[in-house]
Chains A and B, each alone.
Chain A
């Protein structure tokens, strides 16, 4: 079998550096209030964007199942506030939708 070792090491390096450098540079250092506010918004914006991307990039047969699963999980979590229950309900509903629509 072909060895992909060099490719994997290359991928590992370019993946690790963006994870490492900002934390190394910013930890234990005072950042001004504006920058801190900006950084504290990133969880909200990046999650919203990842959800949108998940729906936009899913293929035709998955799109309805994705929207139902994601929507149900969000709504159940909004009402009940239980993460595991919400996620499992989302998975179950998308499984049901997928099996009905195929």
Chain B
């Protein structure tokens, strides 16, 4: 007889799947907290950035622009462009979340980051409401506690350790993506197309940083769509 997984077991599985994000976020958030303190932001503002914005790259960018004396309007615009990529992820998740009660959507949307999106998208068989909620909660907690700890005692992390922990999140992207390539030749081709399109856009400097990601995602996904339609092979 097939029994439904116990609640405890389900929580444990969710935590294990979130572990790479927790491990990756904490030290990077610490680095952010420390840098924010050195940019002379208050503890309140530093914490609020992580609590309300919750988007790592744009938080670091904001510190950079604040110390360069850039106007607030421009910082907000730059933040918008950099974080617009989440729009594509949000749209993609709509397919996975289609059976969730709508009242949870505002909360689940807030939790979309590159990392949570990746882990959810590549564990399609495990997606259910409690998994997504636990994943979001733990990632959010790691980012915010890390920020506050970093503001307090960030100096204790050596710089080379911080840099290599930063590689950790990209390492996670690769660790999620590479096994997928095994499943179909199309995925390998589509991934290569995406890299080539992005590299061309990056060096051509036709689009500002932020836009280049979105345009590359759209172009390469459309090319990928053409590819799977031509080959008639399912993903």
| Residue in A closest to B220 when the chains form the complex, CB atoms | A45
Footprint of A on B, CB under 8 Å? 16-17, 19-20, 23-24, 40-42, 45, 48-49, 52-55, 58, 62, 66, 72, 75-77, 79-80, 83-95, 97-98, 100, 102, 105-106, 108-110, 112, 114, 117-118, 121-122, 160-161, 163-165, 167-168, 170-182, 187, 190-195, 197-199, 202, 213, 216-217, 220-222, 224-225, 228, 235
The one of A10, A12, A41, A86 that contacts B171, using a Cβ cutoff of 8 Å? A86
Closest Cβ of chain B to A68, distance in Å, is: 9
A51/B173 contact (C-beta < 8 A), A11-B62, A15-B58, A42-B92 known: yes
The complex places the Cα of A54 from the Cα of B93 at a distance, in Å, of 23
- Is A69 within 8 A of B198, CB to CB? no
The 8 closest A-B pairs by CB, nearest first: A90-B171, A26-B94, A73-B171, A74-B174, A77-B175, A43-B121, A95-B164, A22-B91
The complex places the Cα of A82 from the Cα of B197 at a distance, in Å, of 29
* Complex interface bits, A39-53 against B, C-beta within 8 A gives 1, otherwise 0: 111111111111111
- Cβ contacts under 8 Å, B168 to chain A: 69, 87, 90-91
The one of B19, B95, B197, B228 that contacts A84, using a Cβ cutoff of 8 Å? B19
| Residue in B closest to A99 when the chains form the complex, CB atoms | B160
> Which of chain A's residues 1-53 have a Cβ closer than 8 Å to chain B?
1-12, 14-16, 18-28, 31, 34, 36-53
- Is A20 within 8 A of B90, CB to CB? yes
The complex places the Cα of A71 from the Cα of B48 at a distance, in Å, of 35
**What bracket does the count of chain A residues touching chain B fall in?**
35 or more
Closest Cβ of chain B to A58, distance in Å, is: 8
- Cβ contacts under 8 Å, A45 to chain B: 190-191, 193-194, 216-217, 220-221, 224
- Is A42 within 8 A of B114, CB to CB? no
- Is A11 within 8 A of B53, CB to CB? yes
- Is B177 within 8 A of A23, CB to CB? no
Closest Cβ of chain A to B215, distance in Å, is: 10
The one of B20, B55, B170, B187 that contacts A50, using a Cβ cutoff of 8 Å? B170
- Is A70 within 8 A of B167, CB to CB? yes
A65/B221 contact (C-beta < 8 A), A11-B53, A16-B109, A44-B190 known: no
A-B contacts, 9 listed (Cβ < 8 Å): A8-B45, A14-B76, A34-B225, A38-B221, A46-B213, A48-B190, A65-B163, A69-B171, A83-B20
- Cβ contacts under 8 Å, B108 to chain A: 23
The complex places the Cα of A39 from the Cα of B167 at a distance, in Å, of 27
The one of A23, A70, A72, A81 that contacts B179, using a Cβ cutoff of 8 Å? A81
A44/B213 contact (C-beta < 8 A), A3-B42, A39-B95, A53-B198 known: no
- Is B83 within 8 A of A44, CB to CB? no
The complex places the Cα of A21 from the Cα of B199 at a distance, in Å, of 29
The complex places the Cα of A25 from the Cα of B97 at a distance, in Å, of 12
The complex places the Cα of A71 from the Cα of B179 at a distance, in Å, of 13
The complex places the Cα of A65 from the Cα of B97 at a distance, in Å, of 37
| Residue in A closest to B87 when the chains form the complex, CB atoms | A18
The complex places the Cα of A63 from the Cα of B199 at a distance, in Å, of 16
